[in-house]
Amino acid sequence: MKKSLSLLLILLLISCNNRPADSEKRAKQENRERIDSQASLNEGPVSLSRSDADFLVEAASGGNMEIQLGHMAQNKSTSEQVRAFGSMMVKDHEEGGEKLKRLAIAKNVVLPDSISAAQQKQKDKLLKEPNGDFDRAYINLMVDDHRKDIREFQKAARDATDSEVKAFAADQLAMFYKHLDSAEKILKRMGPKRIPVGAPPYE
* Spatial distance between the Cα atoms of 85 and 136, rounded to a whole number of angstroms: 13
* Alpha helices (H) in 18-162, listed in sequence order: 23-40, 50-76, 80-106, 117-127, 131-159
- Which residues have C-beta within 8 Å of that of residue 154, sequence separation ≥ 6? 169, 173
65 pLDDT above the threshold of 50: yes
Question: Given pLDDT bands bounded at 50, 70 and 90, which one contains residue 16?
Answer: very low
Using the 8-state DSSP alphabet, how is residue 22 labeled? S
* Spatial distance between the Cα atoms of 198 and 203, rounded to a whole number of angstroms: 15
Average model confidence (pLDDT) across the chain: 85
- The 10s digit of each residue's pLDDT in 35-61 is 888 777 765 555 789 999 999 999 999
pTM of the model: 0.81
Mean pLDDT, to the nearest integer, of 114-141?
92
194 pLDDT above the threshold of 90: no
Encoded amino acid at 9, one letter:
L
Using the 8-state DSSP alphabet, how is residue 195 labeled? P
Mean pLDDT, to the nearest integer, of 154-173?
97
Question: Given pLDDT bands bounded at 50, 70 and 90, which one contains residue 8?
Answer: very low
* Spatial distance between the Cα atoms of 138 and 73, rounded to a whole number of angstroms: 8
* Spatial distance between the Cα atoms of 73 and 81, rounded to a whole number of angstroms: 10
- Nearest C-alpha neighbor of 172 from the set 95, 96, 102, 104: 96
SS3 5: helix
Mean pLDDT, to the nearest integer, of 89-105?
97
157 pLDDT above the threshold of 90: yes
Q: Which residues of 143-161 are buried (b: 16+ CB within 10 A; e: fewer)?
A: bebbeebbebbeebbeebe
- Nearest C-alpha neighbor of 62 from the set 145, 173, 172: 145
4 pLDDT above the threshold of 80: no
CA distances from 132 to 31, 79, 184 (A): 43, 10, 19
Identify the burial level of 109 via C-beta atoms within 10 angstroms of its C-beta, where 0-12 means exposed, 13-18 middle and 19 or more buried.
buried
Domains of the chain in sequence order? 21-189 (1.20.1260.10)
